[in-house]
Chains A and B, each alone.
Chain A
Amino acid sequence: MIKNKKIYLSAKGLTKVFGFGRTRTLAVDHVDLDLYEGEVISIVGESGSGKTTLAKLLLGLINPTEGEIYFEGKERDLSTNKKRVAYWKNIQAIFQDPFSSYNIFNKIDAVLLDCIRMRGDGRLPYSEKVEMMEKACSFVNLKFDEMTNKYPFELSGGQMQRLMIARIFLLNPKILLADEITSMIDACSRATILDMLLQLRDDIGMSVIFITHDIGLAYFVSDKVYIMDQGMFVESGTADEVILNPKEPYTQRLISDVPKIYEEWDLSTV
């Protein structure tokens, strides 16, 4: 069923090198990736595997050393600020730490108003903008009037992360990149966050790229899984293929190292 969908994003031979001489590090090493409309994929890797660098490459926040990124079949061109903004209308992100995602000197309304301006509705009367913001907040079951002209430090982690999703609701991009968005959130509010994202996927066909170290989460939420280690994709395929019967030794060891509760967790294979 994925096949007849449009292809949103693909990367060919994507590479990123930092530093030179003594401090030269190869963060992303010739990575290939395809993302279809409405598809949820996960990039799973330990810290230092290069998954965050890959995320920044896909987002266009940093430029690749080698390889190309195609958006909707055409090669991506981010030479001018106008082109970059046009690209960012279609691809957005939510980051790991809600507390550091907000500018502490601005009220949280600024975050939502930025999105409205970026959508091109900047000149709408303020009342209409408030209406939009109320709709977005209700989507993430927050009440706008409880939120408005508050400063970030007056909100809880869960509320802030949900406001980030409200932001995505306003921009309704084609692709959302979620970088470790649940690792700072308590388990019991994790489910609500995931449901909201999947809801957006069903409503507007938004495709999601999950960046995570939590293999359980990847298995639970995504259609395709890419296992990443030292900048390279070690294995990729559907969630059941990769996680339930992995072929590569690295993936096998990775899956066996995760504690299980239904099957026996074999501690001898250290």
Chain B
Amino acid sequence: MKHTLGQIFRSPKFLVGFVIFMAILLLVIIYPLFVTDNPLGIIGQGTFFEPGIYVNVYDSLRSPQYILNLDNAAINRIASRLGDQERQDMKEWLIEYGVPEDEIDIDDTESLMELWVNNYDSTIVVPGMTAAKRKYYVRLDASLEGILATEGFHISVRNEETGDLDEVGYVNQKDYVNVNQVANVRILPLGTDNFGRDMLTELVAAIGVSLKIGLVAGLIATMIGLSLGLLAGYIGGWLDDIIMFITNLFTVIPSFVLLILISYSIGQEQRGAITIAAVIGLTSWVWTTRAVRAQVISLRNRDHVNLSKLSGHSVLHIIVADILPYIASYVFMALILQISSGILAEAGLSILGLGPKTTEVPTLGLMMNWAMIYSAHIMGKWWAYFPVIVAIALVSFSLNLMNTGLDQVFNPALRD
């Protein structure tokens, strides 16, 4: 046994798959230890906040200020308000106005602003420009108005009795705050989803739940497959015919359609994560049954099994000691595949809205479903769906890689 274990861990494919899977597993176990808030807890008001570090403005005003003289501070400030589109429009207006094109460099913020301030006049009517365009330019000019201003902001607090604003503090352009000293800072590596929930926490929890679903579905399917395969293969006769008839039926009826029908007929209320896992398990045992049966039939009249009979062992002992060890490696590989297909089946179901109930627990499929419903993919909110796809792909990819690695260890012909 040690010998084969050594071989398994020397096969590169298995190792890569194993490492990825373990990394995901550890993430799912360790992350909740540090971040304990509820994965479905809504923290953001509004939809699809971008990934980033969210600093509380109110608290930052209260925290100690430091003066830093950074030379490109002003340019960064302007650049953050002047997108490519606005620069293009400004260039267009200046050309219309008569400024030679080669003088305008939209990347050099300072020179562009200077040209704009000296030349732009909202009253001039530029030929061929629609009224809407002119209003747009007026708004653009107004928004740039404050940028070049050099004075800071006065901070005032409304006084209860007098009702007027007493000045409390002054912030000028060089004042900086140390993020660590700000009372409330929240890092959202993956931003929030359309409900305003922290995507990363939700994703980790979802991976955990999906793994559980995959495991339960995989175990159920493999157990059914193993027992039916053993019964059909070892005992044979009419029992074998019945089991094979049922298996052939399930092979032809597409399991996914069956899934839709069953999970649909369970109805919305009872559809918890584990029931869905059970349903997936109950509809995907066909492959394992077929494979186990084929192997057991070939083992049934092997010499060592006959000798075991001649040594007075009971049928149960023969199955456990002489048949199971020979197919154990195959059953384990089948389990890995069942887990992977269980996770994919859950995701597929949830996309159709037939997945587990939404309020209790997030799953990878549900997160995909929400992202689809609120068309995050159309609005370019990649963080709402892309990490979920990557997570699903990584989990099933690592499982499949492990399976291919084991496959090569257990039948040498496939060794490349």
Contacts and interface: CB of A to CB of B under 8 A. Distances in A.
Interface residues of A, number: 23
A118 B304 contact: no
Contacts of B314: 81
Nearest to B324: A105
B325 A103 contact: yes
A92 B309 CA distance: 10
Majority secondary structure, B binding face: helix
Interface stretch (A36-44, A93-101, A248-256, A259-267): A93-101
Given A96-B303, A111-B311, 18 more contacts: A59-B306, A61-B310, A93-B306, A93-B307, A95-B303, A100-B304, A101-B304, A102-B304, A103-B304, A103-B308, A104-B326, A105-B1, A105-B321, A106-B321, A114-B308, A115-B311, A117-B312, A118-B312
A226 interface: no
B303 A101 contact: yes
Interface in B1-45: 1
Contact of B311 (A61, A105, A118): A118
When A and B form their complex, which 10 residue pairs have the shortest distance between CB atoms, in order from nearest?
A114-B311, A95-B303, A85-B312, A101-B303, A105-B325, A100-B303, A118-B312, A103-B304, A88-B310, A103-B322
B302 interface: yes
15 contacts: A56-B306, A61-B309, A88-B312, A92-B310, A95-B306, A95-B307, A97-B303, A100-B302, A100-B304, A101-B304, A103-B308, A105-B326, A106-B321, A114-B308, A114-B311
A266 B265 CA distance: 79
A88 B309 CA distance: 9
Interface string B289-330: 000000000000011101111111110000001100110000
Contacts of A105: 1, 321, 325-326
B341 to A, nearest CB: 29
Interface in A104-122: 104-106, 111, 114-115, 117-118
Nearest to B313: A114
B297 to A, nearest CB: 14
Interface residues of B, number: 17
A229 B147 CA distance: 106
A102 B302 CA distance: 10
Interface of B: 1, 302-304, 306-314, 321-322, 325-326
A239 B381 CA distance: 90
B279 to A, nearest CB: 36
A59 B314 CA distance: 16
A115 B322 CA distance: 16
Contacts of B308: 103, 114
Nearest to A97: B303
A56 B308 CA distance: 14
B295 to A, nearest CB: 15
A17 B325 CA distance: 32
A220 B322 CA distance: 36
Nearest to A153: B3
B310 A101 contact: no
A93 B314 CA distance: 18
Interface string A172-196: 0000000000000000000000000
A102 B307 CA distance: 8
B310 A93 contact: yes
A106 B302 CA distance: 16
A64 to B, nearest CB: 16
A97 B308 CA distance: 15
Nearest to A119: B312
A92 to B, nearest CB: 6
A105 B325 CA distance: 7
Contacts of A117: 312
Contacts of A93: 306-307, 310
A96 B301 CA distance: 13
Nearest to B1: A105
Contacts of B322: 103
B166 to A, nearest CB: 86
A152 to B, nearest CB: 9
Nearest to B311: A114
A92 B302 CA distance: 16
Contacts of A96: 303
Contacts of B325: 103, 105
A95 B305 CA distance: 11
